[in-house]
Amino acid sequence: MINRFRNFVLDIIGAYDDDYIRGDFKKKPISGKQLAEVKKESKQNVVKKIVKSKKQIPTREDDDEFEIDNVMMEIKPDIPEKPRSYKINTVYTEAEKLLYRFRFINYSEESFQQLRNSLRNNLALPDKFEQFSEYLHLKNGRIYFKNLPVLTQPEIQTLCRNTYFDPTKPISPDKIYHEISSQGANLSRSKVRKAVQSIEDYQLRRGRRLKKKVEANFFISHSNTIVCDMFFINQWKFFNVCEAFSGFIKTYYIRKGTATMIRDCVKDFLETLRNINSDIKIDRCLCDRGTENMKIKEIKGLEVVFMKVAQPMHLIEFMNHLVCSRLKIYLDLSFDPSEILELVLEGLNNRKRKRRNQFTPIELLEMDKISQKRISENIVYSTPREHYNLKKIYKGSYVRILLLSRKDQVRVPMSYKSYNRKWSSEVYQVSKVRRVSGTINVFKYTILKKEYFRNELLLIPKMIDKKIPTDIVRKPFEYPLEDNDDSSGIYVPTDGEYSD
């Protein structure tokens, strides 16, 4: 079978022309008569003297076309001038300044109890309240700062809960603070934020943080591991096998992805590695839990490690991208995969790898184990970063788990978009915290023998507010809307409009 890709290239360079096939592609010798005419024409002086033009080029001052102001006036003659913006500084009174200071200090319940006893018994105020003595007084057993009451923690929680579940009021902590800040003297942003974050419904719908590009690194020192996976292009099936250290790839074009065929492909790949270097010993294979990969365990001396469900391994996904991005160019041009695959793999297996001292995958496979370990010591890995602006989680902390899998975190399905619930309704406790190898401040958290990253956990307070207020205002429609009612906004034509 003639390679269609070679035919395509030869057709571009004109190799299929009749003269090229017959061998008459060289130019024929010129005759004596034509040669004499060429010499005669070459002796003529074809260089002409440049004549200076007398036409003057219009300058910017003479031609209105080049004036920017005139052009803008022709497009839109009435362009209003941009008004000047002035920043008005807010002027606070002395009482307002003291109120903000009173909230900033954030007194505890014990401090307010001492102040209540001092005001009730006409004793000297504690030193911490001396600067606010002119505005503090006791009325019906409650402390007031001028005309604002000092609320207890249960009262702040109730006030935030009623505001959150009120359909006419905001739901974010900052907006709730602006809504209720005039109802209490000791209402601060931190207190309102903690109160709202303790509401169970708010926890379940809280926004998530995107994962970092580099969560962890795959460390390997020599050639002893292979990874495999299946990918699809235009309804074509490809099974990709790669040696982890060198990056040597071999892709198989298959029509039916049965378990027996996948096992035979892995055996063929191991035989290919032995032909390159007989000292290579592969004893581990990483793959997903697909049914087509179950018979790989039948290969003697090969330990199969299955990845977690919906948690792809970045190494094999990257290798799939290398092959897929090159194959897709030619498959869209109606080429058969068997014609292109061998050429693509030849280019990938002979590429120089920057992190492997500019050695190609084939050159790395030909090295002995000691040389490979020496190269692995010089590999510089990208340092994973910790998620910023997230509170630290310790052993024993209470958390909720993100309901999205690793694949769904990249492309969120429609069922989890918008303001739907993204976190588990059950509360879990972290049993172990482990630092990711090769990092400084990136950790994995163990919950029920499963590990999670920081962006997959929501830290919650120990006390959860599960109460939902039942006195929410509901105003039913006095007159339900009907299809033929003009007030519904729906136009329903009558039968008379269709009569002839």
| pLDDT digits 0-9 by tens, 390-412 | 888 999 999 999 988 777 777 77
Question: Please, which pLDDT band fits residue 483 given cuts at 50, 70 and 90?
Answer: very low
Please state the three-class secondary structure of 434-471 as a single string: EECCCCCCCEEEEECCEEECHHHEEECCCCCECCCCCC
For residues 295, 297, 302, 304, the Cα torsion angle rounded to the nearest 10 degrees is 110
Mean pLDDT of 214-238: 81
Note the Cα 320 to chain centre separation in Å: 20
The pLDDT value given to residue 79: 57
Top pLDDT among 77 and 125 is at 125
CB atoms within 10 A of CB 301: 8
Query: Is the pLDDT assigned to residue 158 strictly greater than 70?
Result: yes
Tokens matching residue 10: 């030869």
Taking only the tens place, the pLDDT of each residue in 257-308 is: 888 999 999 999 999 999 999 888 998 998 888 888 888 988 988 988 888 7
Rounded CA gap, 460 and 393, in Å? 10
Q: Would you call 232 helix, strand, or coil by DSSP?
A: strand
Q: Is 432 helix (H, G, I), strand (E, B) or coil?
A: strand
pLDDT tens digits, residue range 47-87? 555 555 566 655 555 455 544 454 444 555 565 666 777 77
Percent of the chain surpassing pLDDT 90: 23
In the structure, what pLDDT confidence band is assigned to residue 160 with cuts at 50, 70 and 90?
very high
DSSP 371: H
What percent of the chain shows pLDDT beyond 70?
Answer: 72
> What span, in angstroms and rounded, lies between the C-alpha atoms of 348 and 342?
10
Q: Spell out the domain ranges in the chain.
A: 94-205, 225-378, 397-459
Measured on CA atoms in the order 116, 122, 124, 129, is the torsion positive or negative? positive
**Whether the predicted pLDDT of 24 surpasses 80:** no
Is the pLDDT at 192 greater than 60? The verdict is yes
Token pair of 378 as six digits? 């010089």
Q: Is 3 exposed, middle or buried (0-12, 13-18, 19+ CB in 10 A)?
A: middle
pLDDT of 249 higher than 90 = yes
**Dihedral angle of Cα 425, 426, 427, 431, to the nearest 10 degrees:** -140
Mean pLDDT of the chain: 78
The answer to which of 34-48, 145-159, 176-190, 280-294 has the lowest mean pLDDT is 34-48
* Contact (Cβ atoms closer than 8 angstroms) between residue 393 and residue 445: yes
Kindly state the DSSP code that residue 125 receives in the 8-state scheme.
P
Task: Please tell me the pTM assigned to this model.
Answer: 0.57
- Beta pairing class for 303-306 and 284-287: parallel
Q: Which CATH architecture has domain 225-378?
A: 2-Layer Sandwich (3.30)
Question: CA nearest 459: which of 400, 384, 372?
Answer: 400
